[in-house]
């Protein structure tokens, strides 16, 4: 009698575990992906894997192209300052979990809130002519993080670090730092 209870109990447990695993797997696969071909940009163009003509690789959470192409102009520029952007999944995901046909902003723990809530880096590399018509080179690296309402940048974000190297313009090195090391902010804010 006890062996029957053990076998029935084990079989019931296995079925429940199987049902749970199946529903958990189904919940994880409900987001549309770039490879599905159903996610579009703001102009209605299908987003594809790899780099597009502007320099975006949404699958890799990256932009690598000319600065003036970050806004995805109708005709991409072919020269100028270079920009590399990288971002977290919660800034701009590479999936569509709310099924609006767009990449999700603010995807945290499977919930989409529509606001980029992660981090973004911008690395700008360029040149300009100074007052003496001499070509000068500069680099600018910026870390931006979501810090909530009433934050100084765009009302929800903070520049947590900026490194500007423009010797001709009088800037070399760390321009500003707000917050803890890395991308996450915590209660140990530091200022330089």
Domain assignment of residue 97, yes or no:
yes
Looking at the structure, do residues 2 and 94 belong to the same domain, yes or no? no
Looking at the structure, do residues 56 and 108 belong to the same domain, yes or no? yes
Q: What is the pLDDT of residues 73-102, one digit of tens each?
A: 999 999 999 999 999 999 999 999 999 999
Number of domains in the chain: 2
Looking at the structure, do residues 109 and 82 belong to the same domain, yes or no? yes
Looking at the structure, do residues 137 and 56 belong to the same domain, yes or no? yes
Distances (CA, A) of 94 to 48, 70, 111, 150: 11, 17, 14, 28
Domain assignment of residue 101, yes or no:
yes
Residue 187 has pLDDT above 80, yes or no: no
Check residue 150 and give left, alpha or beta (phi > 0: left; psi -120 to 50: alpha). left
Q: Which residues, 6 or more positions from 184, have their beta carbon under 8 angstroms from its beta carbon? A: 145
Percent of the chain having pLDDT more than 90? 64
End-to-end CA distance of the chain: 74
**List of E strands, the chain:** 32-33, 56-57, 62-66, 82-87, 95-96, 107-108, 111-112, 119-129, 135-151, 155-166, 171-177
The DSSP 8-state label assigned to residue 191 in this structure reads B
Domain assignment of residue 182, yes or no:
no
What CA–CA distance (Å, rounded) separates 95 from 102?
Answer: 8
CB 70 within 8 A of CB 85: yes
pLDDT for res 183: 66
Q: What is the pLDDT of residues 144-174, one digit of tens each?
A: 999 888 889 999 999 999 999 999 999 999 9
pLDDT for res 29: 55
Residue 1 has pLDDT above 70, yes or no: no
CA 33, 34, 39, 41 dihedral sign is: positive
Looking at the structure, do residues 58 and 152 belong to the same domain, yes or no? yes
Looking at the structure, do residues 108 and 136 belong to the same domain, yes or no? yes
Looking at the structure, do residues 140 and 102 belong to the same domain, yes or no? yes
Enclosing domain of residue 9: 1-30
Looking at the structure, do residues 3 and 69 belong to the same domain, yes or no? no
């Amino acid at each position: 009698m006890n062996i029957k209870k053990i076998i029935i109990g084990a079989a019931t447990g296995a079925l429940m575990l199987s049902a749970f695993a199946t529903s958990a797997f189904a919940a994880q696969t409900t987001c549309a992906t770039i490879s599905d071909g159903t996610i579009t940009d703001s102009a209605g163009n299908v987003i594809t894997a790899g780099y597009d003509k502007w320099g975006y690789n949404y699958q890799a959470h990256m932009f690598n192209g000319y600065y003036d192409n970050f806004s995805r102009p109708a005709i991409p520029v072919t020269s100028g300052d270079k920009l590399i952007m990288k971002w977290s999944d919660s800034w701009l995901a590479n999936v569509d979990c709310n099924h609006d046909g767009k990449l999700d902003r603010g995807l945290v723990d499977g919930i989409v809130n529509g606001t980029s809530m992660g981090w973004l880096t911008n690395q700008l590399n360029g040149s300009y002519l100074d007052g003496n018509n001499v070509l000068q080179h500069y680099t600018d690296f910026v870390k931006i993080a979501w810090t909530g309402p009433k934050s100084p940048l765009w009302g929800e974000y903070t520049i947590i670090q900026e490194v500007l190297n423009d010797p001709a313009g009088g800037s070399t090195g760390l321009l500003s730092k707000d917050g803890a090391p890395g991308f996450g902010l915590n209660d140990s804010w530091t200022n330089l």
